[in-house]
């Protein structure tokens, strides 16, 4: 029940919070980055199972999914599913995953 409440409240609270913060520049980009890091940690079991084989592990809470994908791309340890996701991201932003490696905290 708490998970459902959290999901229902997240979007409206994000929008309300936007109007409360003083420095709005990059607000939604930072929120997206935080969600990406959260997803890398929260969904690590699925990501490790489906995106890489004997490669760099997903799950670092300070790293984005794209960064872990980039490291596996670099090391040639992506699964077919991982390669497809990297190609999709590269269509949106050329070399997205490779570029994201340097953004890890």
State pLDDT tens for residues 2-36. Answer: 999 999 999 999 999 999 999 999 999 999 999 99
DSSP letter string over 31-43? HHHHHHHHHHHHT
Examine the pLDDT at 105 and tell me if it is beyond 70.
no
Q: What is the phi/psi pair of residue 88, to 5°?
A: -65, -45
Q: pTM for the full model?
A: 0.84
> Which residue carries 């459902």 as its tokens?
4
Give the whole-angstrom CA distance, residue 86 versus residue 56: 15
Mean pLDDT value of segment 43-71: 97
Given a cut of 80, whether residue 66 has pLDDT beyond it is: yes
């Amino acid at each position: 029940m708490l998970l459902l409440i959290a999901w229902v409240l997240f979007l409206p609270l994000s929008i309300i919070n936007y109007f409360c913060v003083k420095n709005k520049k990059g607000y939604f980009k930072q929120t997206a980055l935080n969600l990406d890091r959260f997803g890398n940690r929260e969904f690590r079991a699925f990501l490790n199972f489906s995106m890489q084989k004997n490669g760099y592990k997903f799950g670092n809470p300070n790293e984005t999914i794209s960064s872990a994908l980039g490291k596996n791309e670099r090391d040639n340890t992506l699964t077919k599913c991982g390669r497809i996701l990297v190609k999709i991201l590269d269509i949106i932003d050329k070399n997205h995953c490779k570029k994201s490696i340097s953004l890890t905290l």
